[in-house]
């Protein structure tokens, strides 16, 4: 079983940076998929989009097209923590960001793949 808790977020002006963090609690030593999704304003839960995912065992890393080159996902396996560094933020990045985790190796940017979600943290980018 995996449990995730996010922190960070807030309000920033366009062009600024924010960093999100996620702590993963797990009951087994196996590697797993972990990452970030977001829900844009006015969108439904089923429309949450993948931002970035990574396999803790290495070799798998994906970014959503809208954030590639601006966001960086990183992990500290020793502490089971995950970070999302968001640079060059745009107003269209405004969303609730969710940390996700799932046992597996493919780690796709597909919402249905992940059964373990955090409570979400709000990121607001002003123009």
Question: Residue 28: what pLDDT?
Answer: 85
Q: Minimal CA–CA distance to 120: which of 3, 10, 25, 7? A: 7
CA angle 84, 62, 18 (to 5 degrees): 15
Question: Residue 106: what pLDDT?
Answer: 95
Confidence of residue 1 (pLDDT cuts 50, 70, 90): confident
The pair of structure tokens assigned to 84 is: 């999302």
The three-state secondary structure class of 47 is: helix
Confidence of residue 78 (pLDDT cuts 50, 70, 90): confident
pLDDT tens, residue by residue, 9-55 = 999 999 999 999 999 998 888 899 999 999 999 999 999 999 999 99
* Alpha-carbon span 98 to 50, nearest angstrom: 10
In this prediction, residues 102-127 reach a mean pLDDT of 96
Question: Residue 72: what pLDDT?
Answer: 97
Question: Residue 63: what pLDDT?
Answer: 97
The three-state secondary structure class of 94 is: coil
Question: Residue 29: what pLDDT?
Answer: 82
Contacts of 62 (CB under 8 A, 6+ apart): 35, 50, 52, 53, 54, 107, 108, 109
In this prediction, residues 53-60 reach a mean pLDDT of 92
Question: Residue 108: what pLDDT?
Answer: 97
């Amino acid at each position: 079983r995996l449990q995730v808790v996010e922190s960070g977020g807030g309000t920033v002006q366009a062009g600024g940076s924010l960093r999100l963090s996620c702590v993963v609690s797990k009951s087994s030593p196996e590697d797993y998929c972990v990452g970030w999704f977001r829900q844009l304003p006015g969108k439904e839960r089923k429309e949450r989009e993948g931002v970035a995912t990574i396999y803790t065992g290495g070799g798998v890393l994906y970014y959503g097209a809208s954030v590639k080159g601006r966001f960086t996902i990183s992990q500290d396996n020793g502490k089971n923590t995950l970070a999302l560094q968001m640079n060059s933020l745009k107003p269209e990045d405004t969303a609730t960001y969710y940390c996700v985790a799932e046992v597996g190796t493919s780690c796709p940017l597909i919402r249905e793949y992940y059964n373990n979600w955090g409570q979400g943290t709000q990121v607001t980018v002003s123009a």
